[in-house]
């Protein structure tokens, strides 16, 4: 996974910007339940009145409330309010807001400091009033309705009480001690609620439109919620765009680097990694890492902020119900841990099974003609079915485990919601919390559970992406066995094309025995050097050492007396026209394939190379150089494919040509015509030919006979017939004695 951070480093700034958007989105989401609580508590229950201390109160009501206040509370009220006479100039400033000021004196609050304490003063006075009235009901033999304190105050008519003010003022202070004692036992939140209910009565007395006050508060708070929702949605969209862009760029860079590294692999590395595995690593594995980046950027910052912030906000709403969240989180962690322990081992199996399925599919598509020829469709179908079923079985198991998570999470969230309602109802009955606080607590609990679920999902995604990242890193960390020297030599200015093998030995990978032993020969410019031998004698292996598809184990190969390991691979291969044993063509047209030998070659040069390769006739019949070639050249015959491969090498006009059994699919007439034309084109070049047919190499200047990786004969055709038993056996098995003369 360390490689992943290397690819993310160039995007550090934009990721920081993304985290700022996520922080803003989290704050918006955390603010919504709080505002919803305010709508319920303040907008609906409190009629839009936020403060427990009235902004204005009539002189009569103030006098009434002062009767039930302590001396300290009276001093606090005196510090915050001033009297506005009904006939004064100041009254003109309030007649629209408080219509009663036109006929009565009112008190207006001019000091906004320490409003909570001021509200508690009015709350205590209101509760003292309520408790005193309750006592009076009892003394008169009347039962006061058993309602919450604020409901009782809401039913009070201030006018009769104001008329009773002279009588109440005449009572000794001790008459209110019992009622005041009960008020002092209430907590701050209860006093605040009581004070707000009483404020509504004061505003009604002043002629204030309390219904309009409630509606304005709900609409204003709702507008703020809508704005925060839009801001959160905008942040979500921006984060999605940024994370997708970052992930796509990282995926592009990974695919580029993997492809670049694979291009630098020698045949030894291709022996280690199968083609199907490399394709999976470049596509499927990179996709998993890409998805991890997309989800990781969106969740890594957002989920912890919402989780921690939700806990803080929920506890602030009700500390007594915080145990519900703790239990829910513990259950969630336990559930995810079980799923995690069961699913993760399967994630590690999936990629290998995908490799296997790709391998089987690729082999069957590539060898479809052989499969049909031998009627092995049923065998190959069973082989594919087995690989497919293994992958399907693992994926189904993982999906079943993951499918369980959603209903389990829904059950958990609904259970938590029911538990909060049940416990919250009891808390509301005890006046410990308000209805809006319970609603907000429920929403915060759901946000916390979802945030922990997001984090859990990341823990589930990370192992699979880590497996994919490790597979990608395995390719990127594989150093090719064949590398350019730190201080390479160059052949520019003195290139002839002489190729020399000096005591060359070679073995594959960690094999114990060499497949080539003490190979020594010199191939000169203007000459043709041919290699022949039985199957498995090492002909193709030997020829593949020249372009450094493999490096020699011992000895050295020299071009113009320079060890090829001292040249760059680019310069070495630039001077070689190579025709592989299997004439591979690429999708495109014929001209596109021929120009692999020279990107700037003209059509005239392409036609000339095609003439030499005896390919002109079928090219013209197919529609010319622009006729299409399908992937792998499947729309041309084996012989046509070989001739196009030869023409491609000739376009390069290289000083060294290597033909690795490149005439095997040609008929004898075409073979002879091609070799005659080829001798004219390559008379200044060094030509090395691997062949199975003696007729192809009879006229070579030097024939090297290989047997079990050793040179058992070297010379011309006539010389080898006399001196090399192996060559003579090969020749006699192919040609009559008269043809060998």
Q: Where are the domains of the chain?
A: 2-36+218-476, 56-208, 497-575+655-667+690-741, 583-653
The answer to whether 122 and 67 have CB atoms below 8 angstroms apart is no
pLDDT tens digits for range 298-327: 887 788 888 888 888 888 887 778 888 888
pLDDT of residue 152: 47
* C-alpha neighbours within 13 Å on the C-beta side of residue 526: 2
Q: Spell out, as residue ranges, where the chain has pLDDT lower than 50.
A: 143-152, 738
Can you tell me the distance from the alpha carbon of 435 to that of 623, in angstroms, rounded to the nearest whole number?
A: 83
Say if residues 594 and 563 touch (Cβ distance below 8 Å): no
pLDDT of residue 531: 93
Residue 274 phi/psi, 5° resolution? -75, 155
Angle at 677 between CA 676 and CA 678, to 5 degrees: 90
Provide the 10 A C-beta neighbour count for residue 353: 18
Other Cβ atoms closer than 10 A to 666:
23
Other Cβ atoms less than 10 A from the Cβ of 114: the count is: 13
Residue that is written with structure tokens 């980046």 in the block: 293
- Burial class of 156 by CB neighbour count within 10 A (0 to 12, 13 to 18, 19+): middle
Topology given in CATH for the domain delimited by 2-36+218-476? ABC transporter transmembrane region fold (1.20.1560)
C-alpha radius of gyration, the chain, whole number: 46
With beta carbons less than 8 A apart as the criterion, state whether 644 and 615 touch.
yes
Q: How far is CA 477 from CA 266, 463, 480, in A?
A: 14, 20, 9
Pairs from 398-402 (Cβ < 8 Å, separation ≥ 24):
398/343, 398/346, 398/347, 398/350, 401/339, 401/342, 401/343, 402/339, 402/343, 402/460
Do the two domains 2-36+218-476 and 497-575+655-667+690-741 of this chain adopt the same fold? no
Half-sphere exposure of 401 (CA within 13 A, CB side): 20
List Cα–Cα distances, 89 to 94, 300, 520, 736, in angstroms: 10, 62, 121, 136
Kindly report the number of other CB atoms within 10 A of residue 500's CB atom.
Answer: 17
Q: Domain 497-575+655-667+690-741 in CATH: superfamily?
A: P-loop containing nucleotide triphosphate hydrolases (3.40.50.300)
pLDDT value, residue 456: 73
Instruction: Read off the pTM.
Output: 0.72
CATH tag, 583-653: 3.40.50.300
- In this structure, the number of other CB atoms found within 10 A of the CB of residue 91 comes to 19
pLDDT given at position 517: 93
How far is 612 from 680, CA to CA, in rounded Å?
A: 9
87-118 residue pLDDT tens: 888 888 888 888 888 888 999 998 878 887 88
């Amino acid at each position: 996974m360390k490689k992943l951070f290397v690819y993310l480093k160039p995007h550090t700034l934009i990721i920081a910007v993304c985290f700022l958007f996520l922080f803003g989105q989290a704050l918006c989401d955390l603010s919504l339940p709080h505002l919803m609580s305010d709508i319920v508590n303040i907008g609906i229950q409190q009629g839009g009145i936020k403060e427990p201390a009235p902004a204005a109160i009539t002189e009569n009501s103030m006098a009434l409330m002062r009767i039930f206040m302590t001396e300290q509370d009276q001093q606090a009220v005196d510090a915050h309010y001033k009297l506005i006479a009904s006939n004064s100039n100041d009254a003109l400033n309030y007649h629209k807001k408080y219509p009663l000021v036109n006929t009565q004196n009112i008190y207006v609050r001019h000091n906004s400091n320490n409003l909570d304490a001021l509200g508690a003063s009015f709350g205590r006075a209101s509760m003292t009033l309520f408790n005193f009235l309750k006592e009076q009901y009892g003394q008169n033999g009347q039962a006061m309705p058993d309602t919450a304190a604020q409901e009782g105050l809401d039913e009070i008519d201030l006018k009769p009480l104001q008329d009773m003010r002279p009588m109440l003022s005449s009572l000794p202070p001790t008459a209110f001690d019992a009622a005041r004692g009960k008020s002092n036992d209430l907590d701050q939140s209860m006093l605040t609620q009581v004070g707000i209910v009483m404020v509504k009565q004061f505003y009604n007395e002043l002629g204030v439109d309390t219904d309009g006050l409630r509606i304005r508060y709900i609409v204003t708070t709702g507008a703020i919620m809508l704005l925060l929702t839009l801001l959160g949605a905008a942040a979500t969209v921006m984060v999605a765009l940024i994370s997708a862009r970052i992930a796509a760029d990282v995926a592009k860079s990974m695919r580029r680097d993997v492809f670049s590294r694979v291009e630098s692999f020698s045949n030894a590395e291709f022996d280690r990694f199968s083609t199907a595995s490399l394709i999976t690593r470049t596509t499927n594995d990179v996709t998993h890492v890409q998805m991890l980046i997309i989800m990781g950027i969106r969740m890594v910052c957002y989920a912890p902020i919402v989780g921690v912030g939700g806990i803080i906000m929920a506890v602030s709403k009700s500390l007594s119900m915080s145990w519900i969240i703790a239990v829910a989180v513990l259950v969630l962690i336990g559930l995810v841990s079980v799923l995690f322990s069961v699913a993760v081992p399967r994630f590690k199996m999936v990629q290998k099974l995908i490799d296997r399925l790709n391998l089987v599919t690729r082999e069957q598509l590539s060898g479809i003609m052989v499969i049909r020829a031998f009627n092995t469709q049923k065998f190959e179908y069973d082989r594919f079915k087995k690989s497919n079923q293994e992958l399907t079985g693992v994926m189904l198991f993982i999906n079943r485990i993951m499918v369980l998570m959603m209903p389990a999470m829904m059950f958990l969230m609904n259970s938590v919601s029911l538990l909060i309602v049940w416990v919250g109802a009891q808390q509301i009955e005890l006046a410990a919390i308000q209805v809006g606080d319970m609603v907000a607590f429920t929403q915060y609990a759901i946000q916390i559970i979802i945030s922990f679920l997001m984090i859990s999902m990341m823990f589930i995604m990370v192992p699979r992406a880590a497996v994919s990242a490790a597979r990608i890193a395995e390719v990127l960390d594989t150093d090719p066995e064949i590398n350019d020297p730190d201080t390479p030599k160059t052949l520019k200015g003195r290139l002839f094309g002489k190729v020399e093998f000096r005591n060359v030995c070679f073995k594959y990978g960690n094999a114990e025995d060499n497949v080539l032993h003490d190979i020594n020969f010199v191939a000169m410019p203007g000459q043709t050097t041919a290699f022949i031998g039985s199957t498995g004698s090492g002909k193709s292996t030997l020829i593949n050492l020249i372009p450094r598809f493999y490096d020699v184990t011992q000895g050295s190969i020299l071009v113009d007396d320079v060890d090829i390991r001292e040249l760059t691979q680019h310069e070495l291969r630039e001077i070689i026209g190579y025709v592989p044993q299997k004439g591979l063509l690429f999708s495109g047209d014929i001209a596109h394939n021929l120009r692999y030998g020279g990107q700037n070659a003209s059509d005239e040069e392409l036609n000339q190379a095609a003439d030499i390769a005896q390919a002109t006739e079928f090219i013209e019949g197919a529609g010319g150089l622009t006729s299409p070639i399908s992937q792998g050249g499947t729309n041309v015959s084996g012989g046509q494919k070989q001739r196009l491969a030869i023409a491609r090498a000739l376009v390069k006009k290289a000083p060294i040509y290597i033909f690795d059994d490149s005439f095997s699919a040609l008929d004898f007439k075409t073979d002879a015509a091609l070799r005659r034309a080829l001798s004219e084109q390559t008379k200044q070049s060094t030509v090395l030919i691997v062949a199975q047919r003696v007729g192809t190499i009879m006229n070579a200047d030097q024939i090297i006979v290989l047997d079990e990786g050793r040179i058992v004969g070297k010379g011309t055709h006539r010389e080898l017939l006399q001196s090399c038993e192996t060559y003579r056996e090969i020749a006699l098995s192919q040609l009559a004695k008269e043809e060998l003369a």
